[in-house]
Amino acid sequence: MLTMQAASFLNPETAFRVRDEIGTPCYVYDEASLRSVAAKVSDFPNAFGLTARFAMKACPNANILRLFKSIGLKIDASSIYEAERAVAAGFDASDISLSTQEFPTDDRLLSLVAKGMMVNACSLHQLERYGMLFPNAKVGLRFNPGLGSGGTQRTNVGGPASSFGIWFEDIDKVKKIVSGHGLEVFRIHTHIGSGSDPEVWVKAVGLSLNLVRSFDAVTVLNLGGGYKVGRMPDEETTDLQAIGAPMREAFERFQSETGRKLHLEIEPGTYLMANSCVLISTVQDLTSTGEDGYDFIKLDTGMTENVRPSMYGAQHPMELLAFDGDTREAHTYVITGHCCESGDILTPAPGDAEALLPRKLVDAKIGDILAIGGAGAYCAAMSTKNYNSFPECPEVMLRLDGSLSVMRKRQTLEQILANETEISF
């Protein structure tokens, strides 16, 4: 078996079978891992009921959506397009909660709301527009509670440096808009970012409950997602029971004080997906910049399939699989992608996309497989599709019986060109 933490489900035989049958690069998701982590999410501590929503922006493949639907998860959509994809995958509109930076006002929104989709207004402007479109309707409010958490500033979605949500000090403006349109605020939504510290989450719950106190009709408190996942062996993974138990106690205290039993919603994405997928790639080339420079591995993947290292300085576990089965000595490499782009580096320093941190692997040969773990969340979903005209790579599910099911075929050149139109010159 692979030794890296994030790929315990994948063995070398399966990795080479994927390459032989489907080719590389290729995402390999593990059904057993997905089911296991979904069960943990469904068991999140709660006092008066729980709705677990999948933040589908993490990985919107319809087969992933259908798998989670079969387990009982609902959907958190970040755009009207995601909401429509969820419906196309079999979800009822009433299973979907929409929180979006780009607020739609066309017939697509009207249709889905009419069918039961609920909306969180994420700004004063959105709340005003929602009230004009749906007077006297129910609405959720996403607030920025003034607190954020995250491994980097770019994974922090709360506090004064974040544009997400209505600033908590604008609550009087909110009440004026709500009253003016006869809206009923049924849900408060907050989301602070990615973190695993129970004390931070408890503080966030306290701030959120204070917001609930301002709206008597609220029956649901949505605390978002952002549960930290350790992709690397030295990184911590959130213990949902550890952070959830004090949350439950806070809900119980709130009920004792106010008589109000709040239903809890959570919206994990990374937690559900990250370590349930490995990106399989092939070593295409090896080069060196001399004694005072670096030794490089060049792959047939890169920022086209995983932009997180280039964008965040994110760390992913990696392991070389020898195509000839040799036992080899250790060697240190900088690993680069296949794009003609100086930023296409897969081994940056942690949190610093512009610095290099070579990885210690085994001595590499052209033709080896390099397996990149932790690739289930914000990789296929957030890749730089078609940069250098590389096609989107396939997504495959490793089934419970060990078989492989293709969930997305490799894109063809014809599909890349499909929306281009010819004009005369």
CB contact set of 234 (below 8 Å; sequence gap of 6+): none
CB contact set of 358 (below 8 Å; sequence gap of 6+): 294, 295, 332, 333, 334, 347
Q: Which of 26, 59, 277, 340 is catalytic?
A: 340
Nearest to 145 by CA among 240, 63, 239, 210: 210
Q: How far apart are CA 173 and CA 111, in angstroms?
A: 28
CB contact set of 146 (below 8 Å; sequence gap of 6+): 158, 159, 160, 167, 168, 169, 207
DSSP summary character for residue 6: G
CA 273 to each of CA 56, 58, 84, 116, 221: distance values in angstroms, whole numbers, following the listed order = 10, 7, 21, 27, 24
CA 354 to each of CA 289, 315, 328, 350, 379: distance values in angstroms, whole numbers, following the listed order = 18, 13, 30, 10, 19
Catalytic residue list contains 340: yes
Residues known to be catalytic: 340
